[in-house]
């Protein structure tokens, strides 16, 4: 018996629906009884390392963590907003809020995980007092970490900022510098590679740790941020509305575990400290 075109079309549509129902996006729950996958963007050190410690713990909850590494501070948020990732882990809340405001993104913090105290490093000088007049010092070029670096230098008497600028400080707010520091803003990821060319640099903890590991960077920390009351804890970020998503909650539980706490405290020598 010859089928009518309508019957053939219906059969094709049903076949297509069956095929699609068997496919899960990498960041979507799998079928009944299967594991769910959460793709998480992270910078290599320490974020990806910490995620790999947490991953087996999340897998016990039925969630497979797929770590996607990035080496900059821009693409992880773009990829999260676009839906290529289910979460990212590399930034603190002031940076996240500024980035979202500038680019009109709808992302939020799901949980604080660790703090990387920002520090002033040098390969040429062993003490803060040894910095010469006119010392060349680099700070991160991004606004939030640049402001954070300026505040660190001000706290240690190396410069004076305009009163009341707080976390919005820029180099234009530097009123004076007793040692006439020559400040230069460069991309945060490039700072460790140029450290030997300057007197000192205020470097983000993850980039310094990565440089120590890969470049065998031998540098002294001349000054660092206090951990107590520090607003710059690194967070697990998600799209707004996904904070309570089961996969995200499973990862948070793993990241806040004693296994992760012990790993952080035993691995990074105080350059990374738990924030939970």
User: Which regions in the chain score pLDDT beneath 70?
Assistant: 1-34
Q: What is the per-residue pLDDT for 35?
A: 73
Q: What is the per-residue pLDDT for 246?
A: 98
Residue whose structure tokens are 């089961």: 246
30 token code pair: 């799998």
Which pLDDT tens digit goes with each residue over 183-210?
A: 999 999 999 999 999 999 999 888 898 8
Name which of 212, 246, 208, 205 is nearest 227 in CA terms: 205
Q: What is the per-residue pLDDT for 15?
A: 44
The pTM for the full model equals 0.74
Q: What is the per-residue pLDDT for 8?
A: 43
94 with 85: CB under 8 angstroms? no
- H-helix or E-strand spanning residue 151: helix 143-155
The separation between CA 274 and the C-alpha centre of its own chain, rounded to angstroms, equals: 14
Residues contacting 263, CB < 8 A, separation 6+ = 50, 53
Measure the CA–CA gap between 12 and 6, rounded to whole angstroms.
Answer: 10
């Amino acid at each position: 018996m010859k089928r009518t075109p309508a019957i053939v079309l219906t059969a094709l549509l049903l076949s297509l629906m069956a095929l699609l129902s068997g496919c899960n996006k990498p960041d979507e729950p799998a079928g009944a009884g299967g594991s769910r996958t959460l793709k998480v963007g992270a910078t290599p050190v320490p974020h990806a390392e910490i995620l790999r410690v947490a991953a087996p713990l999340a897998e016990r909850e039925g969630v497979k963590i797929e770590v996607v590494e990035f080496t900059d501070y821009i693409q992880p948020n773009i990829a999260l907003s676009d839906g290529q990732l289910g979460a990212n882990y590399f930034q603190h809340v002031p940076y996240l809020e500024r980035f979202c405001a500038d680019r009109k993104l709808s992302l939020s913090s799901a949980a604080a995980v660790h703090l990387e105290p920002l520090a002033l490093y040098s390969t040429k000088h062993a003490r803060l007092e040894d910095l010469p007049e006119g010392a060349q010092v680099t700070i991160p070029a991004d606004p939030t970490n640049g402001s954070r670096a300026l505040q660190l230098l001000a706290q240690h008497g190396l410069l004076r900022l305009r009163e009341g600028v707080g976390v919005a400080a820029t180099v234009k707010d530097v009123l004076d510098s007793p040692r006439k520091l020559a400040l230069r803003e460069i991309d945060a990821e490039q700072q460790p590679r140029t450290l030997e060319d300057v007197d000192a640099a205020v470097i983000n903890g993850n980039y310094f740790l990565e440089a120590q590991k890969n470049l065998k960077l031998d540098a002294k920390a001349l000054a660092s941020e206090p951990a107590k009351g520090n607003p710059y804890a690194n967070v697990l970020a998600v799209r707004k509305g996904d904070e309570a998503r089961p996969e995200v909650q499973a990862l948070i539980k793993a990241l806040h575990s004693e296994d992760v706490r012990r790993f952080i405290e035993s691995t990074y020598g105080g350059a990374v400290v738990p924030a939970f």
